[in-house]
C-alpha cells in the first residue's frame, strides 16, 4: 500500500476523491488501515495461502454475480472487478 499512500499524500487527490467518490475514499481509508494493521507487525503477517484464499473467494463471487445479474450497470462493474482481480493474480504469478 506504499504507492496508494504516496498518491493519497497529495491533498488534491485526497480532496478530489472524497468529493467525486466519497464511498471509494472511505473504502480506501479503511483498506489502508486494515493493511497497515496486518502488515505493520512482522508477527502478524498473513500467509500467502490465506491471501490467495481471499482473492479466490472474491473472484468466485464476482464471476457468479456477473453470470446471474440482469443489470447492465452492475454487470459492467462486475467485469471491472473481475479484470482487477485477474490482474492481481497475474502480478502474483510474476513475483513467485
pLDDT at residue 96 tops 80:
no
pLDDT at residue 38 tops 80:
no
Predicted confidence at residue 61, as pLDDT, reads: 92
Residue 78: is it exposed, middle or buried by C-beta count within 10 angstroms (0-12/13-18/19+)?
buried
pLDDT at residue 42 tops 90:
no
Please tell me the distance from the alpha carbon of residue 89 to that of residue 66, in angstroms, as a whole number: 19
Residues 55-95: tens digit of each pLDDT: 899 999 999 999 999 999 999 998 998 998 888 888 877 77
pLDDT at residue 44 tops 70:
no
Considering the chain, what is the average pLDDT of its residues?
A: 83
- Helix/strand/coil percentages in the chain, nearest 5: 85, 0, 15
Asked whether the beta carbons of 62 and 82 are under 8 A apart, the reply is: yes
Asked whether the beta carbons of 85 and 58 are under 8 A apart, the reply is: yes
Amino acid at each position: 500500500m506504499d504507492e496508494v499512500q504516496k498518491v493519497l499524500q497529495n491533498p488534491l487527490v485526497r480532496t478530489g476523491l472524497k468529493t467525486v467518490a466519497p464511498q471509494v475514499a472511505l473504502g480506501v481509508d479503511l483498506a489502508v488501515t486494515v493493511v497497515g494493521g496486518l502488515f505493520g507487525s512482522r508477527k502478524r503477517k498473513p500467509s500467502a495461502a490465506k491471501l490467495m484464499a481471499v482473492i479466490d473467494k472474491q473472484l468466485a463471487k464476482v464471476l457468479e454475480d456477473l453470470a446471474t445479474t440482469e443489470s447492465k450497470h452492475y454487470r459492467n462493474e462486475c467485469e471491472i472487478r473481475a479484470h482487477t482481480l485477474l490482474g492481481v493474480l497475474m502480478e502474483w504469478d510474476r513475483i513467485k
